[in-house]
A and B are shown apart, each in its own frame.
Chain A
Amino acid sequence: MAKIVTDVVCPFCGTLCDDLEVALSDDGKEILEVYNACAIGATKFLHSQASDRLTRPQKKQEDGSWKEVTYDEAADYTAKMLVDAKKPLMYGWSSTSCSAQGVGAEIGEEVGACMDNTATVCHGSTLIAVQDVGVPSATLGEIANRADRVVFWGCNPAHAHPRHMSRYSIFPRGFFTGKGSKSRQMIVVDPRNTDTAKMADVHLQLEQGHDYELLSAIRVAIRGEKLPDVVAGISKEQIYEVADTLKSGRFAVIFFGMGVTHSLGKNHNIDIAISVTRDLNDYTKAAIVPMRGHYNVTGSGQVWGWQFGFPFCLDLTRGFARYNPGDSSSNDLLVRDELDAVFVLGSDPGAHFPVRSVKKIAQLPSVCIDPHITPTSAVSKMHVPVAFVGVEVGGCAYRMDNVPIETKKVVEPPEGMLTDEEFLQLVLNRVRELKGAA
């Protein structure tokens, strides 16, 4: 008889599903089956079981080969690199727990680092916009129970957040949405005919890169002002109709993703989408929610927000927190040659950053902390594998709607492996020793 662990939280995407069930072998050591999760979520659990998994830190040798070292040696190397550097970057932080992020923030403060998380390549523009114009938002629970107008703008949950629609946004039968998807009008705005778009009641297939203009046109239509005949490839009749649909709902919600956060205009697109939401609140209740990718990128912004006042692109080099994406953002820092060491945890810039940034990482002293062998670990000088958060160790994570959820430990990590929080604590202690000695 397999042992079943219930109420497991999926540490993959920002939907942070908390209803998973995991079947373990009799000795409780092996994950046999994952229930309720989508395919990508289940893979994350099963992947942790790979037999060829790296279980000890490795240091790259002169000839490019890897040599196993102890966690203490790895912590010493990392601490020295961070203390010696004039301007180190500590990047990532999106696939780990809030408590590990907290220890990381302490290290960053001690060594005067630039700190950045994966928002910098996905929803950073959202954070900038929120700071500029505020944000009327809601929790996914509220949305499941109330939203009768659901807009997906530049996002494709059918693939990127597979259980989002079934758990929260379209299909659930909520208190005021008793007929499930029939209670809701679904509007998708996307230049591509995605699988999400195929399900929509209305698909606005706008011209690529004209989201700002279309959102502006919706604002004009909400106010009943005159529009040109066509905006962003969409006829004015259809724009007025969509504006009316949104205004006539009891509760409208706009979900948006990388299609708007990283197309032309970036933060301005979100800024004006927030403005649309604000305008709608003159007529009905409306909220806007970013479709955050990594399961705890939101938490990383929360932790830094309460510790430093800014959610990403932190520059702590002068002993106080400064923030200005465009200057203190990791890609700009890398491309402009502003850094002399790179530390990566819980993210894979090797796969997500532009090639010219990755080349810079390869040239600098670098440490990568990641359970997997990744493009980033491959170009780093030191690779420290750690236990999987949400599988082999618990810890707090924030869902895309800023609701904190405690993830669960399901199995033990391989013998002798540290969690990232434990490893960071070693680094922090060593940093304090080195600085005390100096």
Chain B
Amino acid sequence: MAKVILTPNQTPTLFLEAENITPDVFAGKDAAEIAALHGFVGKTTVTLGDYFTIEGAGGQTAADTTVVINGDVSRVKYIGMKMSAGELIVNGNADMYVGGWMTGGKITVNGDIEAFAGLGMTGGELIVNGNAGNYLGAAYRGDWRGMQGGEIRVSGNAGSDVGTFMRGGTIVVGGNIDVHVGTHMEGGTIIVKGDAKTRVGGQMVKGTIYVYGDIDVMMPGFQYRNDSDLEVDGDKGRFALYEGDMGERHPKKKGEVIYGQLYMKY
């Protein structure tokens, strides 16, 4: 697999918008061509070469291209946006929109990321060995399609509004999560291994949420159904099943109403 290594050589004074940093765009390009790719700082157009030292070259296709960013890119937005294949590794913190609308491939961030990561993603993997911000795997403003496929794994904590309007795929948060989990959810799975605060599954139509820790305040529209022994993401345990949100519309399947499911671990 061909490898491109980007090493940040200066911190942008404002923020760098770099949606060109993906295996898709780098494929078929050598270091000089990659350095000449554009990015934006406010209304000025810059090149990736202005902010990164670039070594290596892209493979023939995205699928055989690995991009490694060695260093802090916490002032760089849109890394890995819309990527479809290949691999992207960030050894440092990254800013907003990491893997937004990605359709395939794998992103690994060894650090923290900001808000709007995995926004509306339809496939691929987004692994965060650190904390994630708000709106992880949510929908872009006004869109009713949040995350629709693929997998997001965060080892640390995640912010608020995770999985808003989510319709498919899986989000696993190893730590705690802030308010509004799976709001307007219509499918997919969210697993929270730590504690949640309030507003879990509000306005939820369909889909599944697992919470291992506590929920501070339960939404009033969830009703207890039963207990069961389950294996979730490799963890065995006894879970209480709640269904809701009773205030929301729900579809029918084979004459039966389908609710959103919230499992709480004992």
Contact = CB atoms under 8 A, between A and B. Distances in A.
Interface of A: 85-87, 111-112, 128, 131-132, 210, 212-213, 216-220, 222-223, 225-228, 231, 264-265, 268, 271-272, 275, 279, 317-319, 323-327, 336-340
A211 to B, nearest CB: 11
Chain A CB within 10 Å — which of B43, B140, B184, B199 has the most?
A: B43
Interface in B195-229: 198-199, 202-203, 217-221, 223
Interface residues of B, number: 38
A327 B42 contact: no
Contacts of A85: 42
B40 interface: yes
B96 interface: yes
Nearest to B41: A86
Contact of A86 (B42, B202, B218, B245): B42
B135 A326 contact: yes
A87 B180 contact: no
B136 to A, nearest CB: 12
Most buried by B among A222, A227, A327: A327
B56 to A, nearest CB: 29
Contacts, number: 108
Interface in B45-84: 77
Contacts of A337: 14
Given A86-B41, A216-B220, A327-B96, A131 B247 contact: no
Given A216-B245, A219-B247, A225-B247, A318 B141 contact: no
A268 B142 contact: no
A272 B165 CA distance: 14
Contacts of A218: 247
Contacts of B183: 268, 271
B78 to A, nearest CB: 11
B241 to A, nearest CB: 16
Contact of B202 (A212, A227, A336): A212
Contacts of A210: 217
Interface string B91-105: 000001000000000
A275 B141 contact: no
Contact of A220 (B142, B217, B247): B247
A225 B115 contact: no
Contact of B14 (A216, A319, A339): A339
B127 interface: no
A337 B14 CA distance: 6
Interface string B154-171: 000000000001000000
A333 B42 CA distance: 11
